[in-house]
Amino acid sequence: MKHYGMTLLLKDEPGVTERYVAEHAAIWPEVESGLKAIGIEQMQIWLAGRRLFMHMETVDGFDMARDFERYERDTPRAAEWQRLMESLQEPAPEAATGEWWAEMRLVFELAR
């Protein structure tokens, strides 16, 4: 199993945070099934102010670039969802050039 921690910002515009939260409270079934189909076993998105933090657990063979491209290509509603979400988001200042969700580095883990 692979783990990913990623971050980005919501746009600093009226109503964006509320809209983002509301959309995720009623996530489209095709989006949820599409994410599972590409090997995402668990996903959580946390919010503090405008900053989002996403934690994903994936199957070992998961490849971020390859599998998200396949997700959008094979699930038309997923591509529509991505466009909607991107209209509410912006990369964090620490994102690399061309990176939307900035990948974070694990620096500590407390295991059972």
The whole domain housing 42 covers: 2-103
Count how many domains the chain has: 1
Q: How far, CA to CA in Å, does 71 sit from each of 55, 62, 84, 105, 108?
A: 18, 12, 15, 24, 30
Task: State the pLDDT at residue 98.
Answer: 87
Query: Is 44 within a domain?
Result: yes
Residue 20's CATH number? 3.30.70
Is pTM beyond 0.85? Reply is yes
Q: Is the dihedral of CA 10, 15, 18, 23 positive or negative?
A: negative
The kind and range of the H/E element at 82 are helix 76-86
What are the tens digits of pLDDT across the range 40-99?
999 999 999 999 999 999 999 999 889 989 998 888 899 999 999 999 999 999 999 988
Task: State the pLDDT at residue 102.
Answer: 94
- The pLDDT confidence band at residue 30, using thresholds 50, 70 and 90, is very high
Query: Is 109 within a domain?
Result: no
Q: How many CA atoms lie within 13 A of 78 on its CB side?
A: 18
Query: Is 50 within a domain?
Result: yes
End-to-end CA distance of the chain: give it in Å, rounded.
16
What are the tens digits of pLDDT across the range 69-85?
999 888 889 999 999 99
Q: Looking at per-residue confidence, does 112 or 14 come out higher?
A: 14
Query: At 59, is the secondary structure helix, strand, or coil?
Result: coil
pLDDT at 21 exceeding the cut of 90? yes
- The pLDDT confidence band at residue 101, using thresholds 50, 70 and 90, is very high
